[in-house]
Chain A
Amino acid sequence: MVTTTEKKGRFGKFGGQFVPETLMTALNELEQAYEEARQDPSFQEELQDYLHNYVGRENPLYFAKRLSEHLGGPKIYFKREDLNHTGAHKINNALGQVLLAKRMGKKKVVAETGAGQHGVATATVCALFDMECVIFMGREDVKRQELNVFRMELLGATVQPVDSGSATLKDACNEAMRYWVTNVEDTHYILGSALGPHPFPTIVRDFQRIIGDETRRQILEKEQRLPDAVVACVGGGSNAIGMFTPFVEDENVRLYGVEAAGHGIATGEHAAAFADLKEGVLHGSYMYLLQDDHGMVQEAISISAGLDYPGVGPEHCYLHDIGRVEYKSATDEDALEGFKLLSKIEGIIPALETSHAISFASKLAKEMTKNEIMVICLSGRGDKDVAQVRDALGGRVHD
């Protein structure tokens, strides 16, 4: 019901390969290499080995007893992607793609990063496999996430600040694509979210679906049944698509994606492409895209550097249109509340991105009963955000 292949690389009308001709050969090669790797037991074995011994999978599905009691609704479980090596789900995809790049004989890797989590994950796997690594990062994000910049440099990557446009994630994507066009013969682009031209949204989803596969197995072990609701935050949407994919056919499992509402949807200063529902083309993909009255891409606004992308992955667009996933949003303020709540009640400091999911889940919990089960994808840990949150709260946790 869900995977449509009316046209190659399409999810319904979304997706596609809207890139300069120079990249088409590379995309076709990537598609073919991925198809072969996917079916090659030795590739899968190597990937599993690194996921287990290097990333630390499988990670727990943790019953958040205190939060469940506090909210007074369903039993809440957290899928602990924050416990992965490098502190977020991003490493699942970076590892898969670097193995693919190595298999394709590429010498260099280029990537974009927003919050720095994907940049750190990419720099990490490049260190591990001795690949040259260039990371493009918006100048604004370099400022917001200076520790992550230092981390990437420690790992041997070159971080290139990007000044064009809004100097955030979309501009970093532009520069990474330009770099890839220029160096396409020996370079692989490790796209960090379920975005971009085909085959990237499919590759990223497949490398991230381990989140949902493990969750499904773990919840069946613990509860002998599937959850009633699953919640994940959505920027480009990689942790969400990874979490949702194994549940898409289970029609009784309600799926919720949570976008960043920034200063509030009504202010127009947000990062919620599903709030506007304007179709557009950016970075190779036909998708819902924030844009002005003349089709200029709008700057996405969010407290979280990892969610301020103006588009949303094409498969999410499709899942939205067929009504399989509900897309909601949480403001900066909501996210800060979620951030504080989880820290205080469960002793887990979540990433600001994840805090959006927590905020929405807290509201959803109030409409659910004690007999129900909710799973939240705890996509990353918040160490990287502590300084920013301190500033946002004016240095004080309590008013």
Chain B
Amino acid sequence: MTKTLQQVIEQKNEQGEKAFIPYIMAGDEGLTHTKETIRYLQQLGATAIEVGIPFSDPVADGPVIEKAGLRALAEGTNLRTILAMLEEIKEDVQTPVILMTYLNPLVHFGLQDFVKAATKAKVKGLIIPDMPLEECDIIQPFLEGTDIALVQLVSLTSSKARIQEIAEAAEGFIYAVTVNGTTGEQRDFQDHVMQHLKEIKSLVSLPVLAGFGISNRQTAEKMSEGIDGVIVGSAIVDALHRKDYDTIEQFFQKEPVETNS
């Protein structure tokens, strides 16, 4: 059965729109603030909301998200309190919530217990950046029969054969990493990246969303061409931290922005 996360993205695409998934760090400025932020992003029309679980050693993340994570940890945030917060708002938040977490907090929590708690909190997707295809079986058996989609990442270094293999196991959507590097790394996205994204799209049937280093509306638009949407993390986390809501709202504008703005 197709999981909710995939359905929601496909519905968005059927309406002729690209999916847009903002990432926020749970507990940055406290979980009450996170609750408000989730409602705010739902109101703006986010396709889904990626909620980051803070971790002491976030090797896949760049400085913006790492610092947000440390702020969240300093607030006393942890996986247990985050799941409790999500459970509190599950009735009034219809936008699917995806958890992005390193594996260790889950291992410590107990993988099976985590899946139970996440199901109860209506979590619809799971992204684990330090768990490649080869290691998925550590959690996959517990996810069977749930509505939590295990999202898989593919990178610029993934071969064609590997992309196909990953797509076999993937649920929800394919997360295409657009840089060799950490989150928030801004590079000039060269044509080969666009080419790579189109190739991924041609190889898989799931929706394909690009992420890592997409820092503004223009890049988001450019990256979405030929695929199904984008994920924006560091730029959102940074803007939230600076209370720069204009930057956030720009990502959601229906009309294309002028390139000379």
Contact across chains for B132 and A20 when beta carbons are under 8 A apart: yes
The distance in angstroms between the C-alpha atoms of A16 and B158, with both chains bound, is: 19
Whether A182 contacts B177 in the complex (CB less than 8 A), given A17-B134, A294-B80, comes out as no
B108 pairs with A280, CB closer than 8 A: yes
Q: How many residues of A contact B (CB 8 A)?
A: 38
* Contact status B104-A22, CB under 8 Å: no
State whether B180 touches A22 (Cβ < 8 A).
yes
User: Contacts A164-B66, A165-B56, A177-B59 hold; do A24 and B107 have CB atoms under 8 A apart?
Assistant: no
Choose among B57, B80, B129, B162 the residue with the greatest number of A CB atoms under 10 Å from its CB: B57
Q: Which of A87-95, A136-144, A281-289, A377-385 contacts its partner?
A: A281-289
Q: Could you give, for residues 104-118 of chain B, a 1 whenever the CB lies within 8 Å of some chain A CB and a 0 otherwise?
A: 111111000000000
Contact pick for A281, options B78, B103, B157, B177, CB 8 Å: B103
* Contact yes or no, A16 B135, CB < 8 A: yes
Is the Cβ of B182 less than 8 Å from the Cβ of A282?
Answer: no
Would you call A18 and B105 a contact (CB within 8 A)?
A: no
CA distance A24 to B58 in the complex (A): 18
A contact patch SS: mixed
A46 interface contact, C-beta 8 A: no
Whether B157 and A22, one on each chain, are in contact in the complex, defined by CB atoms closer than 8 angstroms, is yes
Known contacts A182-B181, A296-B56; A19/B162 CB under 8 A:
no
- CB contacts (< 8 Å) of A245 on chain B: these are none
- B55, B60, B107: the one contacting A20 at CB < 8 Å is B60
Once the chains bind, are A20 and B59 in contact (CB under 8 Å)? yes
Task: Kindly list chain A residues whose C-beta atoms are within 8 Å of the C-beta of B240.
Answer: none
Q: Given A170-B57, A181-B180, A18 and B135 touching (CB < 8 A)?
A: yes
A170 vs B73: C-alpha distance in the bound complex, in angstroms? 18
In Å, the complex CA distance between A280 and B60 comes to 17
List A contacts of B153 (CB < 8 A): 20-21
Docked complex Cα distance between A184 and B155 (Å): 12
B59, A21: Cβ atoms under 8 Å?
no
A280 to B55, CA, bound (A): 13
B121 within 8 A of A: no
The reply to whether the CB of B79 lies closer than 8 angstroms to some CB of chain A is yes
Report how far A295 CA is from B104 CA in the complex, Å.
6
B: interface residue count bin: 35 or more
Q: Residues of A contacting B102 with CB < 8 Å?
A: 281
Which of A17, A178, A282, A297 makes the CB contact (< 8 A) with B135?
A: A17
Tell whether A21 pairs with B177 under 8 Å between CB atoms, given A177-B59, A294-B80: yes
B132 with A17: CB separation less than 8 A:
yes
A181 to B182, CA, bound (A): 8
- Measured between beta carbons, the chain A residues less than 8 angstroms from B257 are none
Q: Is the CB of B59 within 8 A of A283?
A: yes
Most buried by A among B66, B78, B155: B155
Q: Does A362 contact B (CB under 8 A)?
A: no
B154 at the interface (CB under 8 A from A): yes
Known contacts A164-B66, A181-B181; A279 and B107 CB within 8 A of each other = yes
- Contacts A185-B180, A281-B104, A297-B56 given; does A24 touch B132 at CB 8 Å: yes
Contact pick for A24, options B66, B79, B109, B162, CB 8 Å: B162
User: With an 8 A cutoff between CB atoms, is B156 at the interface?
Assistant: yes
Contact of A295 among B107, B129, B158, B162 (CB under 8 A): B107
Please give, as numbers and ranges, the residues of chain B lying within 8 Å of A17 by CB-CB distance. Answer: 132, 134-135
Contact assessment for B57 and A182 in the assembled complex, using a CB-CB cutoff below 8 Å: no
Bound Cα distance A171, B104 (Å): 16
Which residues in B have some Cβ–Cβ distance to A below 8 Å?
55-60, 62, 66, 73, 78-80, 102-109, 129-135, 152-159, 162, 166, 177, 179-182, 185
Given A24-B155, A280-B108, 9 additional A-B pairs, CB 8 A:
A18-B131, A20-B177, A21-B158, A165-B57, A281-B104, A291-B108, A294-B80, A294-B105, A295-B55
